[in-house]
């Protein structure tokens, strides 16, 4: 619901975009706390992806999506394309193009499932494994930089709160 946020304790930490939205829509009966929370998830995600690609992944010729594919296969091993697309949060058609790029870099292979030639199994190559072994510690250091200023307790609480949002987003996916 609409409320006067002019005395809100977090006002100095508000982003310009939040102030602009408040100025434009503040007289409407909207849930501004939810709007701010979800908008900032989008902003954080977009900013983190751009920075990760620029600061960590570019050296390896990887996009954030390509890195995600390597990471999923590294953690869970070979996987069929349908499940891989789901785990990476991309459409199957999008995954196909990403896999083509990763194959050209000799990071993954695709092979038909013997029992059902319509299905494809994706695996890391030795080069793919070596790449993710090398890039992941750098990526994890980047994650530490991006959460600088948060205590261990803050990080656990942020992860817990975001899990709630993730679970709410997934509730109708089944």
How many domains, in total, are found in the chain?
Answer: 2
- Helices 92-104/64-76 angle, 10° precision: 90
On whether both 106 and 83 belong to a single domain, the answer is yes
Kindly state whether residue 74 falls inside one of the protein's structural domains: yes
Kindly state whether residue 161 falls inside one of the protein's structural domains: no
On whether both 114 and 54 belong to a single domain, the answer is no
On whether both 122 and 70 belong to a single domain, the answer is yes
Q: Which residue's structure tokens are 């620029």?
A: 54
On whether both 78 and 134 belong to a single domain, the answer is yes
Ordered DSSP codes for 3-24? ---TT-TTGGG--HHHHHHHHH
pLDDT in tens, 23-48: 777 778 878 889 889 988 999 999 99
On whether both 25 and 81 belong to a single domain, the answer is no
Q: For residues 15 and 170, which has the higher predicted lDDT (pLDDT)?
A: 170
Residue 2 is inside which H or E element, if any?
A: none
On whether both 81 and 127 belong to a single domain, the answer is yes
Query: Beta 116-124 vs 108-113: how paired, if at all?
Result: antiparallel
Per-chain mean pLDDT for the chain: 89
On whether both 37 and 77 belong to a single domain, the answer is no
On whether both 30 and 80 belong to a single domain, the answer is no
Kindly state whether residue 113 falls inside one of the protein's structural domains: yes
CA angle 140–50–134, rounded 5-degree value:
35
On whether both 31 and 77 belong to a single domain, the answer is no
pLDDT score for 22: 76
Kindly state whether residue 3 falls inside one of the protein's structural domains: no
On whether both 51 and 77 belong to a single domain, the answer is no
For residue 106, what is the domain's CATH number?
A: 1.10.10.10
- Which three-class secondary structure string do you get for 88-128? HCCCHHHHHHHHHHHHHCCCEEEEEECCEEEEEEEEECHHH
Which residue range is the domain that position 135 belongs to? Answer: 62-139
Query: Strand, helix or coil at 80?
Result: strand
> What is the distance between the alpha carbons of residues 16 and 165, in angstroms, rounded to a whole number?
24
Instruction: Please give the model's pTM, rounded to 2 decimal places.
Output: 0.83
- Average pLDDT of the residues in 14-24: 76
Q: Which residue's structure tokens are 């459409």?
A: 91
Kindly state whether residue 162 falls inside one of the protein's structural domains: no
> What is the distance between the alpha carbons of residues 7 and 11, in angstroms, rounded to a whole number?
7
Kindly state whether residue 164 falls inside one of the protein's structural domains: no
Residues 6+ apart with CB under 8 A from 13: none
pLDDT in tens, 93-141: 999 999 999 999 999 999 998 888 788 999 999 999 999 999 999 999 9
């Amino acid at each position: 619901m609409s409320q006067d946020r002019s005395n809100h304790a977090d006002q100095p930490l508000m982003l310009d975009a939040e102030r602009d939205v408040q100025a434009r829509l503040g007289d409407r009966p909207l849930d501004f706390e939810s709007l701010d929370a979800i908008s900032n998830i989008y902003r954080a995600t977009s900013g983190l992806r751009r920075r990760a690609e620029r600061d960590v992944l570019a050296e390896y010729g990887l996009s954030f999506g390509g890195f995600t594919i390597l990471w999923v296969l590294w953690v869970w091993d070979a996987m069929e394309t349908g499940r891989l697309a789901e785990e990476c949060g991309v459409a199957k058609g999008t995954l196909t193009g990403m896999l083509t790029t990763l194959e050209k870099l000799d990071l993954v292979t695709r092979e038909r499932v013997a029992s059902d030639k319509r299905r494809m199994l994706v695996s890391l190559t030795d080069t793919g494994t070596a790449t993710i072994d090398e890039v992941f510690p750098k990526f994890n250091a980047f994650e530490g930089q991006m959460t600088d200023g948060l205590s261990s307790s803050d990080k656990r609480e942020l992860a817990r709160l975001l899990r709630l949002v993730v679970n709410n987003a997934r509730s109708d996916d089944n």
